[in-house]
């Protein structure tokens, strides 16, 4: 009798407060995000539809003029194409390499922590610093890669990795891949660990070899987690500006320009805020598409 | 009889050989991966200690010290450049961002994990989706907001804006950790007469320690990695962080101070990597728990 009274009283006390307390605790986060993500986001759209620049005070709505104008600009079209080419190629490479790396990292062997330390370095180092190391590694005169190629007699003079459009694009892709593989591998490790041992053991007993197990058990079971890793990888590559900025500044002659760097050059360095905002907004449809995919996946995947 | 024994023997040797082959394959793969990951770092470490007369000779083997190694470039880095200012700025911004992130994310994560019912899940996903509106989309209007608030050329601009990057991911992480702690614990404390907040502070928060540490590491790393906002807001070297200062300032005209530059990169990269390695397993579990339906 007495205990019943206490429990009902406590229940009511909780119910009375839960809503209030819940929203009180939530409010600061919501205000912060609305004020500093929501508001600038709306501003980005308004800018893109106007003629605002850093210099002038004038502000007129010009509709889709900015979009029409940038679509006529060959550098913009080049940036748009590069953004997707870089993201696509580097993420295909990421999937293959990260899968291999994840399998190495879940295995047990002596000295694993040393290996882990080295393979995670590309991801833990601030990207602009990692890229500056690549800038020096790909130096036109003193690149150690060139030295090795010369020493092997494969080339006569240096390759000028960042001076030729094709090689510069390849360099950007390699740096992106190099940087994202560790993150993707860590995400996939979580997926690998979730595959029950029994399945692999049963397959082993039935005489399945390494490759058969890989293609018929591990990869199908890991498909959703691989998709999650790819989504993170794609977001990181298409929204990143530091790799291209530090490595090539978009050069030679805009051949490695991407949306992020072109938008920065136009909007911040050039002062054409409206055009800069319009260029950046071209990322939005892609991000919305990815969002839908992520939401679908989130329902299916445990690890997220 | 003898043949059976011999058969068993050959079976055993074969198995041993197969296992050894597997081991060798594993080590080869692991070492290849490590060298591929670390190559620019190895080259950078060698560079940082080389004398000019050694480094800038095309025919010298770049992987050897053809002349004695030197510490001169580190001395130059620490005494004659703004490197230490960048380090200090990064620390100040990082710590402030961590504090703001925790103050805002802890209550929000608790609310989403425990108090919110229907709207909680939607709001949780909504907060996570903020991650999909990256600085690349926002830096132009954000720069105008900073100019409007008169915060350009100061660390405050970064302290104010970085939590927009760290809060969403931290709320998600902490939510997972809260869900991992049984409700009974705080309910028991409430039965013992504590208010809800009192109960949470006394019983749940101590158990949240690992989650809080994970958020500290994560938020600090994210803010030290950030590039676009830092480049767009502050042009004066007194207010640059490592991520922007090192690549833009250790250059005079077209001349890069390569050895000092590489020294700076290594000095920054190694401690971050050590901390990350210590907490890696915690991140993996943290993200896994974020999805456990509570």
Tell me the helices (H) and strands (E) count for chain A, helix number first: 15, 0
Nearest C-alpha of chain B: how many angstroms from A60?
A: 16
Q: Specify the pLDDT at position B285.
A: 64
At residue B251, φ and ψ (nearest 5 deg) are -135, 130
At residue B147, φ and ψ (nearest 5 deg) are -65, -40
Please name the residue of chain A whose CA is at the shortest distance from the CA of residue B39: A137
Query: Which one of B15, B29, B31, B40 would you mutate to disrupt binding with A, by most A Cβ within 10 Å of its Cβ?
Result: B40
- Closest CB from B132, B142, B261 relative to A290: B132
Average pLDDT across chain A, whole number: 84
Share of chain A above pLDDT 70, in %: 89
- Dist CA B273 CA A125 (whole Å): 7
Q: Is A92 exposed, middle or buried (0-12, 13-18, 19+ CB in 10 A)?
A: middle
- Closest CB from A101, A259, A264 relative to B33: A101
DSSP string covering A36-90: IIIHHHHHHHHHHTB---SS-----B-TTHHHHHHHT-HHHHHHHHHHHHHHHHH
Neighbours of A36 (CB within 10 A): 20
Contact B283 A41 (CB under 8 A): no
* Token reading at B262: 């590489």
Q: Answer for the pair B162, A27: CB distance below 8 angstroms, yes or no.
A: no
The whole-number average pLDDT for the span B79-92 is: 92
The whole-number average pLDDT for the span A182-195 is: 81
DSSP string covering B205-261: HHHTHHHHHHHHHHHHHHHHH--HHHHHH--SGGG--HHHHHHHHSEETTEE-HHHH
Q: Quickly state the pLDDT bin for A15 (edges 50, 70, 90).
A: very low
> ipTM of the assembly?
0.84
Neighboring chain A residues of B58 at a CB cutoff of 8 Å: 141-142, 147
Q: Specify the pLDDT at position A298.
A: 60
Please name the residue of chain A whose CA is at the shortest distance from the CA of residue B129: A291
**Does the pLDDT of residue A68 top 70, yes or no?**
yes
| Among A72-86, B2-16, B97-111, the least confident range | B2-16
Q: Per-domain residue ranges for chain A?
A: 73-300
| Helix/strand/coil (H/E/C) assignment for every residue in A180-212 | HHHHHHHHHHHHHHCCCHHHHHHHHHCCCCHHH
Q: Answer for the pair A180, A236: CB distance below 8 angstroms, yes or no.
A: yes
Contact B43 A21 (CB under 8 A): no
Average pLDDT across chain B, whole number: 85
**Does the pLDDT of residue A200 top 80, yes or no?**
no
Contact A147 B256 (CB under 8 A): no
Q: Answer for the pair A239, A252: CB distance below 8 angstroms, yes or no.
A: no
In terms of average pLDDT, the best of A169-173, A247-251, B202-206 is: A169-173
Domain A73-300, what architecture? Orthogonal Bundle (1.10)
Q: Quickly state the pLDDT bin for A218 (edges 50, 70, 90).
A: confident
Query: Which one of A66, A96, A121 would you mutate to disrupt binding with B, by most B Cβ within 10 Å of its Cβ?
Result: A121
Share of chain A above pLDDT 90, in %: 32
The whole-number average pLDDT for the span A104-133 is: 90
**Does the pLDDT of residue A157 top 70, yes or no?**
yes
Q: Specify the pLDDT at position B206.
A: 86
- Choose between B211 and A91: higher pLDDT: A91
Instruction: Please list, in sequence order, all residues whose beta carbon lies within 8 angstroms of the beta carbon of residue A189, skipping any fewer than 6 positions away.
Output: A102, A105, A106, B284
Q: Answer for the pair B211, B113: CB distance below 8 angstroms, yes or no.
A: no
- Closest CB from A144, A246, A284 relative to B62: A144
Contact A100 B143 (CB under 8 A): no
Q: Specify the pLDDT at position B294.
A: 35
* pLDDT digit string, tens, across residues A138-148: 988 888 898 99
Instruction: Please list, in sequence order, all residues whose beta carbon lies within 8 angstroms of the beta carbon of residue A35, skipping any fewer than 6 positions away.
Output: none
DSSP string covering A126-164: -HHHHHHHHHHHT-TTT-HHHHHHHHTTS-SS---TTTS
- Dist CA B48 CA B80 (whole Å): 16
Q: Quickly state the pLDDT bin for A299 (edges 50, 70, 90).
A: low
**Does the pLDDT of residue B292 top 50, yes or no?**
no
Q: Of 1.20.1440.120, 2.10.260.10, 1.10.540.10, 1.10.3720.10, which CATH number belongs to B73-289? A: 1.10.3720.10
Residue B69 touches chain A, beta carbons under 8 Å: no
Neighboring chain B residues of A57 at a CB cutoff of 8 Å: none
Neighboring chain A residues of B61 at a CB cutoff of 8 Å: 147
- Dist CA B226 CA B166 (whole Å): 11
- Is the CA virtual torsion B55, B61, B67, B73 positive or negative? positive
| Among A27-31, A98-102, A188-192, B178-182, the least confident range | A188-192
* Residue B117 host element (H or E): none
Q: Specify the pLDDT at position B284.
A: 65
State the residue for tokens 């080259």.
Answer: B43
Q: Per-domain residue ranges for chain B?
A: 2-55, 73-289
């Amino acid at each position: 009798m007495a205990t019943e009274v206490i429990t009902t009283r406590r229940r009511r006390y909780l119910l009375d407060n839960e809503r209030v307390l819940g929203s009180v605790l939530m409010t600061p986060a919501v205000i912060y995000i609305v004020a500093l993500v929501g508001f600038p986001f709306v501003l980005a759209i308004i800018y893109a539809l106007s003629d605002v620049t850093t210099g002038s005070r004038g502000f007129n709505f010009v509709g889709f003029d900015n979009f029409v104008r940038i679509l006529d600009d060959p550098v913009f079209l080049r940036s748009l194409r590069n953004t997707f080419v870089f993201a696509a190629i580097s993420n295909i490479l990421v999937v293959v390499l990260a899968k291999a790396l994840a399998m190495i990292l879940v295995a047990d062997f002596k000295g694993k922590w040393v290996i882990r330390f080295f393979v995670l370095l590309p991801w833990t180092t601030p990207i602009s610093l990692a890229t500056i190391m690549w800038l020096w590694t790909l130096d036109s005169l003193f690149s150690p890669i060139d030295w090795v190629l010369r020493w092997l007699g494969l080339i006569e003079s240096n390759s000028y990795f960042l001076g030729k459009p094709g090689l510069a694009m390849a360099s950007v892709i390699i740096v992106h891949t190099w940087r994202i593989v560790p993150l993707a591998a860590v995400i996939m490790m979580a997926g690998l660990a979730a595959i029950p041992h029994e399945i692999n053991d049963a397959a082993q007993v039935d005489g399945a070899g390494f490759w058969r197990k890989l293609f018929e058990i591990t990869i199908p079971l890991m498909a959703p987690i691989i998709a999650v890793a790819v989504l993170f990888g794609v977001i990181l590559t298409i929204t990143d500006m530091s790799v291209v900025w530090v490595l090539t500044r978009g050069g030679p002659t805009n051949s490695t320009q991407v949306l992020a760097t072109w938008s920065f050059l136009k909007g911040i360095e050039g002062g054409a805020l409206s055009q800069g905002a319009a260029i950046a907004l071209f990322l939005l449809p892609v991000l919305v598409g990815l969002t839908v995919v992520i939401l679908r996946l989130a329902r299916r995947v445990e690890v997220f | 009889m003898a043949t059976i024994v011999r058969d068993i023997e050959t079976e055993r040797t074969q198995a041993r050989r197969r296992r050894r082959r597997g081991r060798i394959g594993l080590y080869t793969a692991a070492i290849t991966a490590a060298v591929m990951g670390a190559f620019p770092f190895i080259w950078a470490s060698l560079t940082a200690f080389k004398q000019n007369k050694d480094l800038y000779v095309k025919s010298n083997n770049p992987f050897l010290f053809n002349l004695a190694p030197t510490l001169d470039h580190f001395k130059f880095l620490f005494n004659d450049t703004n490197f230490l200012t960048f380090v200090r700025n990064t620390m100040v911004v990082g710590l402030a961002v961590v504090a703001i992130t925790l103050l805002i994310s802890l209550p929000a994560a608790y609310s989403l994990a425990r108090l919110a019912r229907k709207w909680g899940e939607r709001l949780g996903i909504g907060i996570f989706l903020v991650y999909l509106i990256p600085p690349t989309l926002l830096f132009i209007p954000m720069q105008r907001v900073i100019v409007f608030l008169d915060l350009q050329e100061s660390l405050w601009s970064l302290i104010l804006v970085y939590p927009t990057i760290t809060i969403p991911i931290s709320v998600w992480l902490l939510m997972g950790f809260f869900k991992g702690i049984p409700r009974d614990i705080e309910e028991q404390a409430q039965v013992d007469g504590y208010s809800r907040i009192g109960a949470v502070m006394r019983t749940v928060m101590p158990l949240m320690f690992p989650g809080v540490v994970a958020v500290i590491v994560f938020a600090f790393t994210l803010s030290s990695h950030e590039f676009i906002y830092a480049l767009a807001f502050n042009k004066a070297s007194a207010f640059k962080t490592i991520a922007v200062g090192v690549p833009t300032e250790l250059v005079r005209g077209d001349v890069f101070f390569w050895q000092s530059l590489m020294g700076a990169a290594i000095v920054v990269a190694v401690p971050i990597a050590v901390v990350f390695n210590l907490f890696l397993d915690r991140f993996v579990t943290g993200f896994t728990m974020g999805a456990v339906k509570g």
